[in-house]
Amino acid sequence: MVTLRTRAAWVLCPAAIYAALPAGAHAQVAPGDAFPSLASAGLAGASLPGTSGRVVLFDFWASWCAPCKASFPVYSRIQSDYAGSGLVIVAVGVDDTASAFNAFMARMKPSFAAVHDAKHALVAAVQVPTMPTSYLVDRSGKVRFMHAGFHGDQTDRELRREIDALLAEKPPAP
């Protein structure tokens, strides 16, 4: 005997699960999670710098995002200040077109690596909460700090504090 409750459960449970699903197939990457592999994302642009065993700052940006434009000079200063300490900055552009990406690159001339996530494979895997968002990844490839948005000096200070802390950590044993 199938009761009304059983029938209702069969119908309502899948609907509730569907409604609760986020807009992508992935969950948002958060501190403590492993950062997705760059190699499988099919990124175009500059050749990927070596990130294995290094502290890496990933920044997701787009040419149509005003705070992203404001963030590039700050990242350039961070890059020049920490390049000798082993920090690697990878800026991941999510523009729909290569022309928009290239025009932005030509205008900003960043001193750090910039790649184009044309198919949105990496950004969809990371599920950034806003544009721009940066992720600080430790030497073992684990996300240790996430910064949503760009807020000028405040962002600069927070990133430098976290970068200093990560660079001070001992590298994992080989």
Report the residue number, 65 or 163, with the smaller CB distance to another protein. Answer: 65
Type of residue found at 121: A
Residue count of the chain: 174
Mark residue 117 as left, alpha or beta (left: phi above 0; alpha: psi -120 to 50; beta: remaining): beta
Q: How far is the C-alpha of 30 from the C-alpha of 45, rounded, in Å?
A: 26
Shortest distance, position 136 Cβ to another protein, whole Å: 19
The answer to whether the bond into 132 is cis (omega within 30° of 0) is yes
Report the residue number, 14 or 53, with the smaller CB distance to another protein. Answer: 14
Shortest distance, position 141 Cβ to another protein, whole Å: 22
Shortest distance, position 174 Cβ to another protein, whole Å: 36
CA-to-CA separations, 38 to 44, 66, 113, in angstroms, rounded: 11, 25, 13
Report the residue number, 18 or 109, with the smaller CB distance to another protein. Answer: 18
Report the residue number, 102 or 127, with the smaller CB distance to another protein. Answer: 127
Residue given tokens 């175009």 in the structure block: 44
Shortest distance, position 109 Cβ to another protein, whole Å: 22
Residues that bind another protein (CB under 8 A): 4, 7-8, 11-12, 15-16, 18-24, 60, 62, 64-68, 94-96, 100, 120, 123-124, 127-133, 149-151
Report the residue number, 40 or 130, with the smaller CB distance to another protein. Answer: 130
CA-to-CA separations, 36 to 5, 58, 126, 127, 131, in angstroms, rounded: 42, 11, 7, 11, 18
Shortest distance, position 42 Cβ to another protein, whole Å: 15
Read off the DSSP letter of residue 13.
Answer: H
